[in-house]
Amino acid sequence: MEEQLPAVPADRATLPHPADAPDDAAPRGAARPAERATTTARVSPAAVALRSVAREFPSAAGPHRVLAGVDLDVAAGSTVALLGASGCGKSTLLRMVAGLDAPTSGSVEVAGTAVHGVSDRAAVVFQEPRLLPWRDLAGNVALGLPPGTPRAEGRAEVLRWLATVGLEGFEGHRPRRVSGGMAQRAALARALVRRPGVLLLDEPFAALDALTRLRMQDLLDDVQRDTGATVVFVTHDVDEALHLADRVVVLGVPEAGPGEPARGARVVRDVRVDAARPRDRADAGLAALRVELLELLGVPRAQHR
């Protein structure tokens, strides 16, 4: 029987590296992110289905309805962006697909199976990297490996995904020794090492500087096309949604009448983005969709202001 992958020792040696390392920094002999590994393994993408999903939370004034009657289908291998005003339930919806929360009513399915508890077909990348500071990057990524992964296979998978996200040669660095963008790349590798059928991302690049954010968007696009994974991500950035998504789903809350309780958010628009990926950010063909989405989010055209 093969030896199982143990926990990474807390005192593993690290390589010295400045804390403010640029995101495209690379140790001597390592490839830069632009030369990212192209031997990424394919995954088995999973479809996602939500049927009449509602979610309420208790409050002093009575149940607070966040989502009401959400119906959504995400095809296996596609990328869907969730847009909407703050507090409309985008992250709540994502958590229910992951099995980190449960609907008050309705159903959530991944690959045709109802989600009850944490789904082993899904992996989540949060806004913060959430890396353990006492583990190096390899040790953090190894946390995403499926239970029982043989030691040699696990090590190879960890190194493969670190290389895929442009971190080859940084596996021995602790989180404090790398930049924010590099830490978020490690978080992405930790999710991908599970070979998830569905990759869920909750505003994963919101805390990054503008240039690093653009690089991470391109990295996610490359990884999705290389692996074939289903991707659902939350964003407030219309340009990010148009750059990455096959569909942009807008959540909104209908206005309640006098004396009526809050109705909860639902899908108000489902916009297909037909432009081939990878996309040019200067593509004039996306301008009309950009205007449409901004107006749905309450940002009027200049001539209407």
Q: List the domains of the chain with CATH numbers.
A: 45-121+196-304 (3.40.50.300), 132-195 (no CATH)
Query: What are the b/e assignments for 95-130, b being 16+ CB within 10 Å?
Result: bbbbbbeebeebebbbbeeebeeebebbbbbbbebe
**Cβ count within 10 A of residue 165:** 27
Partners of 252 in the beta sheet? 266
**pLDDT exceeds cutoff 90 at 170:** yes
Please state the rounded mean pLDDT for residues 1-22.
41
Tokens 């309640």 belong to which residue? Answer: 256
Cα separation, 144 vs 174, whole angstroms: 17
Which is higher by pLDDT, 255 or 231?
231
How far is C-alpha 39 from the chain's CA centre? 21
- Number of alpha carbons in the 13 Å side-chain half-sphere of residue 50: 26
Question: What pLDDT is stored for residue 63 in this prediction?
Answer: 84
Taking only the tens place, the pLDDT of each residue in 67-119 is 999 999 999 999 999 999 988 999 999 999 999 999 999 999 999 999 999 88
Q: Which residues pair with 73 in a beta bridge?
A: 49
**pLDDT value at 186 more than 80:** yes
Q: What is the mean pLDDT of residues 201-229?
A: 93
Q: Among 74, 275, 35, 271, which residue's Cα sits nearest to residue 168?
A: 35
* In the predicted structure, residue 160 carries a pLDDT above the cut 70: yes
pLDDT for residue 139 is more than 80: yes
pLDDT tens sequence across 242-274: 999 999 999 998 776 555 556 789 999 999 999
For residue 299, is pLDDT > 50?
Answer: yes
